[in-house]
């Protein structure tokens, strides 16, 4: 499925984008004055292959998984928190769930690799958490592929149910450690530059986290030119699943919104697997994590929101939805220069 999905990812429709720009430029306001709101709508026009953009139903896919590296003391919380928060998504008792309620977004927490089973969270489990990457590969290559394909398949199912835009989220204690390790390898950067305090580590804890990442990379020697090798050796099932969501979105012509650092790392893996997938990805906000800006730069993405968020769960991605909808309302409904008998703006050179 993975290779077939990659083969099915085609370039976005540039003609639809030009027509979308023409619509924006006909609206009675200063040219390009809504900045990224205009750019995002134009990008979605290219994805949907029509200037008649329709966001349809909105969904947030949250990949939930545990990471064996927590055994190294790199987190403030234990693995039991992953399952608790995953259940809270369904009871509107988490930040992301409340934001989904307020924006009319459906929420889909997925157990792709939690250490325990929970009664209500949908199971697409690859394994009961990854192995401790400080001692052995986090997962086998086969498990990595299965996890990516799980994300791809889930997007196919959501498309069949009428979803037109997806946000990405994750829940998994220890996943800033795996994300930092992947970033260090893919961008060939010292782990110290890309590793943050996560959910609130002390300086001692941060130093231990950096040391563990360095040891894991030195032990396994992941190949930065092989994204699946990097994912298997120092990644997580949540990141793998989200990588599949980005690839599935590109194959199914659905815009997928990056959340923060962890989600962006998954997007980077997807783009390294298939560069054409980049045009189907929208950035939401700039994470406060040290590597947040670095990963977005590597993706060539500009984020619409800068407010120091680093919560995860998809909160940043959901925060972008109201902005996109306001931009779309203007795009569809605002009068043109001709209709208002206002002299048309022209670019100044």
pLDDT band, residue 194 (cuts 50/70/90)? very high
Residue with tokens 């959910």: 199
Catalytically annotated residue among 39, 149, 289, 313: 313
pLDDT tens profile 225-260: 999 999 999 999 999 999 999 999 999 999 999 999
173, 70 in Cβ contact below 8 A?
yes
Helix H segments across 27-140? Answer: 36-48, 80-90, 95-103
Q: Is 313 an annotated catalytic residue?
A: yes
Helix H segments across the chain? Answer: 2-8, 14-26, 36-48, 80-90, 95-103, 141-160, 175-186, 191-194, 203-220, 227-234, 237-251, 261-273, 292-299, 315-333, 337-340
What is the distance in angstroms between the CA of the first residue and the CA of the last residue of the chain? Answer: 49
pLDDT at 343 exceeding the cut of 90: no
pLDDT at 58 exceeding the cut of 70: yes
pLDDT tens profile 173-188: 999 999 999 999 999 9
274, 63 in Cβ contact below 8 A?
no
Q: Is 112 exposed, middle or buried (0-12, 13-18, 19+ CB in 10 A)?
A: buried
The larger pLDDT score, comparing residue 156 to residue 344, is at 156
Q: How far is 86 from 45, CA to CA, in rounded Å?
A: 34
pLDDT tens profile 30-43: 999 999 999 999 99
pLDDT at 341 exceeding the cut of 80: no
pLDDT band, residue 342 (cuts 50/70/90)? confident
pLDDT at 198 exceeding the cut of 90: no
CATH placement of domain 54-327: 3.40.50.10210
Q: How far is 45 from 286, CA to CA, in rounded Å?
A: 24
pLDDT tens profile 105-132: 999 999 999 999 999 999 999 999 999 9
pLDDT band, residue 344 (cuts 50/70/90)? confident
């Amino acid at each position: 499925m993975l290779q077939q999905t990659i083969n099915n990812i085609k370039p976005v429709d540039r003609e639809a984008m030009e027509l979308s720009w023409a619509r924006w430029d006909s609206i009675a306001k200063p040219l390009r004055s809504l900045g990224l709101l205009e750019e995002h709508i134009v990008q979605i026009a290219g994805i949907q292959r029509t200037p008649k953009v329709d966001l349809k139903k909105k969904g947030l896919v949250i990949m939930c998984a545990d990471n064996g590296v927590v055994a190294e003391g790199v987190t403030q919380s234990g693995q039991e928190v992953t399952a608790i928060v995953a259940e809270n998504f369904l009871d509107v008792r988490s930040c992301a769930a409340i934001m989904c309620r307020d924006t009319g977004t459906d929420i889909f927490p997925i157990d792709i690799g939690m250490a325990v089973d929970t009664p209500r969270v949908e199971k697409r489990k690859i394994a009961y958490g990854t192995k401790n990457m400080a001692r052995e590969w986090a997962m086998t290559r086969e498990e990595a592929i299965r996890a990516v394909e799980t994300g791809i398949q889930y997007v196919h199912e959501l498309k069949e149910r009428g979803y037109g835009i997806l946000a990405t989220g994750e829940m998994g204690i220890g996943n800033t450690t795996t994300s930092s390790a992947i970033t260090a390898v893919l961008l060939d950067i010292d782990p110290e530059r890309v590793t943050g305090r996560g959910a609130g580590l002390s300086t001692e804890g941060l130093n231990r986290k950096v040391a563990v990442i360095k040891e894991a990379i030195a032990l396994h020697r992941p190949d930065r030119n092989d994204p699946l090798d990097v994912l298997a050796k120092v990644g997580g099932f949540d990141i793998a699943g989200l990588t599949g969501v980005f690839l599935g979105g590109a194959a199914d012509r659905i815009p997928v919104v990056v959340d923060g650092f962890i989600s962006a790392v998954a997007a980077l893996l997807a783009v390294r697997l298939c560069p054409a997938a980049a045009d189907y990805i929208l950035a939401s906000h700039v994470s406060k994590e040290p590597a947040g800006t670095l990963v977005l730069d590597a993706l060539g993405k500009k984020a619409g929101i800068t407010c120091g968020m680093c919560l995860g769960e998809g909160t940043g991605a959901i925060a972008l939805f109201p902005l996109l909808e306001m931009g779309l309302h203007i795009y569809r409904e605002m009068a043109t220069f001709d209709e208002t008998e206002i002299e048309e703006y022209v670019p100044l050179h």
